[in-house]
Amino acid sequence: KALEDEGYLSQPHPSAGRVLTEKGFRYYLSLLGKLELPKNHLQKLEHILRHVDDTVAQTKTMALYLAETTEEAVFVGWDSFSSYYTGLSNLFRKPEFASHDMVVNISEVVDHFDQVLETFHRTLVIGEVRVLLGKENPFDPMCSTVVGKTSEHQLIGILGPLRMPYRLTIPFIQKTIDLLRHGHEEDREAGR
């Protein structure tokens, strides 16, 4: 009862159990500390980086792997007008995304994705991973986004429900942007 009174838990319906609120998830995230990506996932990302030559293809292949592994949606933005996304079907399999209104909300944001990318490019710092919950999330208040910027012109993010597996998604995005940043530096040094 105390956690409900403090705003960390809510009971959406009289017959439902209690769920974490946006405030509850923020508190949970503050307790996570440093997260490590499991070695098998790191090795797969490194394999992609070594065996796919083109940086756009590397990024798309990594995004596809992230979507398959996390079972969330993944998006990539180059500048504000070029994007790639995969795994949207993962979202619509989740109970939070079953309502017609939620599908419409997400679809409207995808229709105006250039504006979301522009905001991300303007506000993110290269190398930083940011978790956007609830009201600060441009997709929907019932969503969470874990996003990071790899370079001045590229970012990658995971979109899912508030209850997404942060212990996996945060280090996945961090390692992905670290590897892509390192790859971009090598390309610049080699004159590619």
Amino acid making up residue 14: P
Please indicate, yes or no, whether residues 15 and 48 belong to a single structural domain of this protein: no
Q: Highest mean pLDDT range out of 67-71, 93-97, 184-188?
A: 67-71
Please indicate, yes or no, whether residues 7 and 95 belong to a single structural domain of this protein: no
- Residues ≥6 apart with Cβ < 8 Å to 154: 59, 76, 77, 78, 180, 184
| Pairing assessment for the beta strands 82-86 and 73-78 based on DSSP bridges | antiparallel
Calculate ∠ Cα 93-89-122, nearest 5°. 115
Nearest 5°: phi and psi at 17?
-75, 180
Per residue in 22-69, pLDDT tens? 888 898 999 998 999 999 999 999 999 999 989 999 999 999 999 999
Q: Across all residues in the chain, what is the average pLDDT?
A: 88
Please indicate, yes or no, whether residues 3 and 58 belong to a single structural domain of this protein: no
Task: Give percent of the chain above pLDDT 70.
Answer: 92
More confident residue, 128 or 4: 128
Please indicate, yes or no, whether residues 122 and 183 belong to a single structural domain of this protein: yes
Please indicate, yes or no, whether residues 126 and 174 belong to a single structural domain of this protein: yes
pLDDT at 184 over 60: no
- Report pTM: 0.88
Please indicate, yes or no, whether residues 23 and 61 belong to a single structural domain of this protein: no
Q: Please provide the DSSP assignment of 152-192 as one string.
A: TTEEEEEEEETT--HHHHHHHHHHHHHHHHHHHHHHHHHT-
- Quote the CA–CA distance of 39 and 52 in Å, as a whole number: 20
- Quote the CA–CA distance of 80 and 147 in Å, as a whole number: 15
Please indicate, yes or no, whether residues 96 and 174 belong to a single structural domain of this protein: yes
Q: Please provide the DSSP assignment of 52-92 as one string.
A: --SHHHHHHHHHHHHHHHH-SEEEEEETTTEEEEE-HHHHH
Q: What is the mean pLDDT of residues 167-190?
A: 82
Per residue in 103-159, pLDDT tens? 888 888 888 888 889 999 999 999 999 999 988 988 888 889 999 999 999 999 999
Domain count, the chain: 2
Please indicate, yes or no, whether residues 26 and 40 belong to a single structural domain of this protein: no
- Quote the CA–CA distance of 83 and 67 in Å, as a whole number: 15
Please indicate, yes or no, whether residues 69 and 6 belong to a single structural domain of this protein: no
Please indicate, yes or no, whether residues 47 and 7 belong to a single structural domain of this protein: no
Domain range holding 59? Answer: 35-190
Q: Smallest Cα–Cα separation from 8: which of 22, 16, 17, 169?
A: 22
Tokens coding 89: 């079907």
